[in-house]
Structure formats: structure tokens, C-alpha cells
Amino acid sequence: MAEPELRVCLDEDDLDAALRFEARYGLTSSPKRLPMRLHYDGRGAALFGELTRQPEYYPTRCERRILDSHADAIADVLATEFGTGGFESPMGAPVSVIELGAGAAEKIRVVLDALHRDGLLASFWPFDVDAGSVRDVLAELAPAYPDARLGGIVGDFTIHLRHLPEDHHNRLVAFLGGTFGNFTGPEREQFLRDLREALHPGDWFMLGADLVKDPDTILAAYNDAAGVTAEFNRNVLHVLNHRLGADFEPEHFEHVATWDGDAQTVELRLRALKPMAVALPAIGLDVAFDTGEEIHTGISVKFRPAELEDQLRAADFRPEHRWSDPDGAFAVFLARVG
Ligand SMILES: C[S@@+](CC[C@H](N)C(=O)[O-])C[C@H]1O[C@@H](n2cnc3c(N)ncnc32)[C@H](O)[C@@H]1O
């Protein structure tokens, strides 16, 4: 079993520079804003894992159910597309799997297992901005797939898609967990264009997306009774305290999640519960908050399947399969490139 390879497109210095820029830009904007990506340090990743296990948080349960039910069908579709490297076996062509924003890469495993069972898993590459998550996944999965090549990419999927591995196998790029919904409309278009440019005919894109449904169900998922999503949302302030020596008092910011029906979007914010003056000495910035003032901390767009398929087609993907859970809460799309 070869040692997993780690490709680092984003090192600590890059992360530090991006954090400084985003904190200065976001906290001097009106309204104040901080990007979702900043939530995910080690603590943020652990809180995200915990929030996905809350009873109100249906997306992870539904997506896992879809993948559990259809992993064999997904593997069959992928393996029947013949590769360019001359590695075809009677079972089909081996596939390299890359998961963008992999986190703990829990749900993709059922697809990896299905490919592995048929001897068709060529390689697996978790890609995440959080180096700790990538390392943990590689350490955990390497023994499970001794015949496959394992490697990780530490990078930003809005910048580093041209660094996707190329190893003469057809590739499956998976983007699960509804992370695609964290982009604005223009960001989604740009991401799909960049991804299409990085892929070749014969590659596949698998996208997990949360669907439009009744607002009460959606909002409950972002307001779990145990307060885990609230703590995850406030983690961005802990990150600024830890990385920039800021003196935010996270407990004096209230977690707010609202539903914008026109935009089909959950908006996450942090609302100041009292007037506060916050210093960020590492970037020489002082920021004042009035009572009730909010920081925009992220969005989660919910989709209608046909609209999402149109967006994929507009970026030159060919959506060919769509699977949903029995309640139609979440969907997994499989689109061909070329
Ligand atoms: C919503 S979680 C999804 C995790 C996992 N894929 C799942 O389905 O449970 C988003 C993941 O994307 C990563 N992430 C967020 N923004 C990123 C970016 N710009 N580039 C790379 N990874 C990013 C986070 O670190 C986190 O692991």
C-alpha cells in the first residue's frame, strides 16, 4: 500500500493572507459579511459533523439514503464509460473519484465501496480547504482500499480546480452535502464553468443538492434544538479570535437563520445582542457593532431539479441521472461531461 500523496495548493501562509483580506473586506462592508469557507477550521469541521447528526438536519440523512440505495447503479453507470488508458476489464473501466469539499468524506464511501467491490476504484482524492480533514480521511481510508491510489488535495475549489488529478482514468467529481447551495447565482455559474474546463469528455460530475420544500422543515434544520448549528455559525468568530487575535465575544452574537422564498435561500447571520467594540490587532482593524447589527455569514440555496439541470446544461454538462429520497427532500444528480 503506497503512502497517500498530499498536494497542497493552499498553505498556512495563503490561508492567513486570505483570512486577513476577507476579515478586513467583510467587516468594513455594509452589511458586514464573512464567507462560509471561514467556518471550517478543525473545530468548525467537527461542529459541522455534529450538526449533520441532529434530528432536524434532514439533508445528510436524505443524501445518505439516496447514495446507499443507488451506489451500485452509480458504479454501473460510471464503469460502463470506457476510459482512455487501456485499463478496461470485463467489469468496465476503472474510475478515479475526487470529492470536492470532502470534509469527513463519509457519504462517498458507499460509492467507493461499490466501485472497489468490482475492482474498478483506481483512485480517491478528497479535496478540501481544511488540511486536517484531508489528512484524517486519507489515514482512515487508505487501509480500506489497499489496491487503489489515495491522494489528497488541500485547496480552494473556487480557485484550484485546475489542480484536479489526471491519471488516464475517467474521473467522477463528487460535490455533496449541499455545498453547491452555499454559492450565489454568479458563483454557481463560475464554478460550473471552471469545473467543466477542468474536466474531459468521459468524466462525470455528481452533485448533491437540497430541494425546495416547506419553509418550516428547511428552517428547523438550521435551528436545531441542541443549538449545534448556532455554535457552528458562531465558530467563524472563534476563528477570527484564534487566527487574528480578535476579541469577539461569540456568546453575545445570536444565530439567525431566515428563509427568503423568492430567492429559495436560507440566509445565515449573527446578530449583536449589545453594542460592542471589537479589535482585530493582527490587521489593525477596530469594528463597532450596534445592538441588532448583523454579520451575514452564509447562504444555503434550495433548488428545483429542472432548474438545476438547466444550469448544468448551460455549463455544458449533460445531466443523465437523478435520484431522490422518498420524500423528495434532496436529490443527487449525475451529469456526463462532453
Ligand atoms: C457543507 S460541508 C460538506 C462536507 C461533506 N462533503 C458532506 O457532504 O458532509 C462543506 C465542506 O467544504 C469545505 N469547503 C468549504 N469551502 C471550501 C472551498 N472554498 N474550497 C474547498 N473546500 C471548501 C469545508 O471545509 C467542508 O468540509
Question: At 104, which CATH number?
Answer: 3.40.50.150
Q: Which atom of ligand 1 is nearest to the CA of 179?
A: 1
Distance 87 CA to ligand 1 centre (A): 32
Q: Is residue 206 part of a domain?
A: yes
Q: Is residue 279 part of a domain?
A: no
Q: Is residue 281 part of a domain?
A: no
Q: Which atom of ligand 1 is nearest to the CA of 48?
A: 2
CA distance 221 to 44: 17
- The count of structural domains within the chain is 1
Which of 138, 109, 136 shows the shortest CA–CA distance to 4? 138
Q: Is residue 266 part of a domain?
A: no
CA distance 57 to 218: 9
Burial of 80 (0-12, 13-18, 19+ CB in 10 A): exposed
Q: Is residue 45 part of a domain?
A: no
Distance 88 CA to ligand 1 centre (A): 32
CA distance 318 to 334: 8
* Type of residue numbered 121: L
pLDDT in tens, the chain (338 residues): 678 899 999 999 999 999 999 999 999 999 999 999 999 999 999 999 999 999 999 999 999 999 999 999 999 998 876 544 444 555 678 999 999 999 999 999 999 999 999 899 999 999 999 999 999 999 999 999 999 999 999 999 999 999 999 988 899 999 999 999 999 999 999 999 999 999 999 899 999 999 999 999 999 999 999 999 999 999 999 999 999 999 999 999 999 999 999 999 999 999 999 999 999 999 999 999 999 999 999 999 999 999 999 999 999 999 999 999 999 999 999 999 98
Ligand 1 near 49 CB (within 6 A): no
Ligand 1 near 179 CB (within 6 A): yes
Residue 171's domain spans which residues?
A: 52-213+304-337
Q: Is residue 316 part of a domain?
A: yes
CA distance 268 to 264: 13
